[in-house]
Amino acid sequence: MIGDRRRATNPLVAKLSRFGPLSQAEIGVLEMLCSNEEQFRAHVDLLNQGDPPRSPFIVIRGMAYRYRILADGRRQILTFLLPGDFCELHTYLFKAMDHSAATLTPGRLAVIERATITTLIARHPRIGAAIWWCSMQEAAIMRERIVGLGRRSARGRVAYILCELVWRQREVGLAEDHAIRLPLTQTDIADTLGLTPIHVNRVLQQFRREGLITLVQRNLRLHDMERLQDLAELTTDYLHLTGIPSEAARYLDGLERL
d(CA 228, CA 206): 13
Query: Do residues 48 and 97 touch, judged by C-beta distance below 8 A?
Result: yes
Residue 198 within binding range of DNA, rule CB under 7 A: yes
- 199 interacts with, out of a second copy, DNA, none, CB within 5 to 8 A per kind: DNA
The DSSP code for 96 is S
Query: Do residues 239 and 172 touch, judged by C-beta distance below 8 A?
Result: no
d(CA 243, CA 125): 17
- 237 interacts with, out of a second copy, DNA, none, CB within 5 to 8 A per kind: a second copy
Query: Do residues 217 and 180 touch, judged by C-beta distance below 8 A?
Result: no
Residues that bind a second copy (CB under 8 A): 52, 68, 70-71, 74-76, 78, 90-96, 98-99, 114, 118, 129, 132-133, 135-136, 138-140, 142-143, 145-147, 149-151, 191-194, 233, 237-238, 240, 242, 244-245, 247-248, 251, 255
Nearer residue to DNA within complex by CB, 154 or 241:
154
- 106 interacts with, out of a second copy, DNA, none, CB within 5 to 8 A per kind: none
- 255 interacts with, out of DNA, a second copy, none, CB within 5 to 8 A per kind: a second copy
Binding residue for DNA, selected from 196, 221, 223, 229, defined by CB under 7 A: 196
Binding residue for DNA, selected from 218, 230, 254, 256, defined by CB under 7 A: 218
Residue 199 within binding range of DNA, rule CB under 7 A: yes
Nearer residue to a second copy within complex by CB, 111 or 248:
248
Nearer residue to a second copy within complex by CB, 9 or 76:
76
- 202 interacts with, out of DNA, a second copy, none, CB within 5 to 8 A per kind: DNA
Site for DNA in 91-150 (CB under 7 A): none
3-state helix, strand, coil in the chain (%, to 5): 50, 20, 35
SS3 at position 242: coil
The DSSP code for 212 is S
Secondary structure (DSSP) of 106-171 = -EEEEE--HHHHHHHHHH-HHHHHHHHHHHHHHHHHHHHHHHHHHH--HHHHHHHHHHHHHHHHHH
Please enumerate in sequence order all residues whose Cβ is within 8 A of that of 81, keeping only pairs 6 or more positions apart, or say none. 59, 63, 64, 65, 66, 87, 101
Question: CB of 190: closest distance to a second copy in angstroms?
Answer: 10
Contact residues for DNA (CB under 7 A)? 153-155, 185-187, 194-199, 201-202, 204-205, 217-218
